Amino acid sequence: MSAISVGQSIILGVVEGLTEFLPISSTGHLKIAEGLMDIQVDDKAVVGFTAVIQVGAIAAVLVYFFADIRRFVTAWGRGLANPAARANHDYTFTWWVIYATIPVVLVGLAAKPLIDGPLASLWVVAASLLAGSALMWFADQYGRHKRGEDDISLPDAMIVGTSQILALLFPGFSRSGATISTGLIRDLDRVAATRLSFFLSIPALTGAGLYELKDAVGGGVSAAPLAVGTLVSFVVAYASIAWLLKYVARHNFNAFILYRIAVAVLLAGLLAGGAINA
């Protein structure tokens, strides 16, 4: 019997698609949803399932930003073949995304027992939601929002990319929330910080999904829930990406901050009252 049913995979696919790129923590929301459905959140197969359905969300990024990605890959290929083409910003930016992914990969491999075990607790999710809210508020209030996408440098990419470790270790912090907030602290404007967050998500989440695939399938999740959850997350994530980019062009992040705080307080109350298990 599959550890996750098709019906549950649809719900989790919707949650993943809605929350992966909004700065509210997809991992945190997935763990909350799993807890409410009495799914064991620290089960190896379940952890693998949540990583695999992220690939659907990443596919949505690949489709939505196809023109940008094609430009980057083309410039990168030309730069590898012709040293004269390496002055192109798209060539160097592609390398920066690769470099910026290395820290989170190394920490992910080294800290996997902690990530899959003690740090998978819903109490950690509640605390991380609050901590991430504080960082986001500080970044949005005190970042100068004066630098656009063309102003992004290697230090920006490395610092923002490294901030993904916060979400890796502390589910509830939010990968997009951490990266966008760090970009704002680096004085990027909201759209530039958000787009950088999207581009950094591609290698990090794709690698995580492929790495966890063996645990999801080998651990008791059948192919049907995996396929359905991934497809649902793709469709919902595509709509979320389009909405978020329009939203950040005109609004600050206060609505997300208030939402995160409300979810953290509600989750802590449910845990304290024994309504759901940590």
3-state secondary structure the chain: CCCCCHHHHHHHHHHHHHHCCCCCCHHHHHHHHHHHCCCCCCCHHHHHHHHHHHHHHHHHHHHHCHHHHHHHHHHHHHHHHCHHHHHCHHHHHHHHHHHHHHHHHHHHHHCHHHHHCHHHCHHHHHHHHHHHHHHHHHHHHHCCCCECHHHCCHHHHHHHHHCHHHHHHCCCCCHHHHHHHHHHHCCECHHHHHHHHHHHHHHHHHHHHHHHHHHHHHCCCCHHHHHHHHHHHHHHHHHHHHHHHHHHCCCCCHHHHHHHHHHHHHHHHHHHCCCCCC
Residue 12 maps to a domain:
yes
Q: What's phi and psi for 24, nearest 5 deg?
A: -130, 0
- Give percent above pLDDT 90 in the chain: 73
- Give percent above pLDDT 70 in the chain: 96
Does pLDDT of 235 surpass 70?
Answer: yes
Task: Kindly report the average pLDDT of the chain as a whole number.
Answer: 91
Confidence at residue 9, expressed as pLDDT on a 0 to 100 scale: 94
Residue 277 maps to a domain:
no
Confidence at residue 3, expressed as pLDDT on a 0 to 100 scale: 76
Confidence at residue 219, expressed as pLDDT on a 0 to 100 scale: 59
Confidence at residue 72, expressed as pLDDT on a 0 to 100 scale: 96
Does pLDDT of 211 surpass 90?
Answer: no
Residue 40 maps to a domain:
yes
Does pLDDT of 218 surpass 70?
Answer: no
Does pLDDT of 87 surpass 50?
Answer: yes
Residue 71 maps to a domain:
yes
Distance between terminal CA atoms of the chain?
A: 24
Confidence class for position 217, pLDDT limits 50, 70, 90: low
Confidence at residue 214, expressed as pLDDT on a 0 to 100 scale: 67
Confidence at residue 215, expressed as pLDDT on a 0 to 100 scale: 64
Confidence at residue 1, expressed as pLDDT on a 0 to 100 scale: 46
Residue 276 maps to a domain:
no
Kindly report the pTM of this predicted structure.
0.90
Residue 278 maps to a domain:
no
Q: What is the pLDDT of residues 115-142, one digit of tens each?
A: 888 888 899 999 999 999 999 999 999 9
Q: What is the pLDDT of residues 254-263, one digit of tens each?
A: 999 999 999 9
Domain range for 82: 4-271
Residue 199 maps to a domain:
yes
Confidence at residue 134, expressed as pLDDT on a 0 to 100 scale: 97
Residue 227 maps to a domain:
yes
Confidence class for position 73, pLDDT limits 50, 70, 90: very high
- The more confidently predicted of residues 50 and 81 is 81
Count: domains in the chain: 1
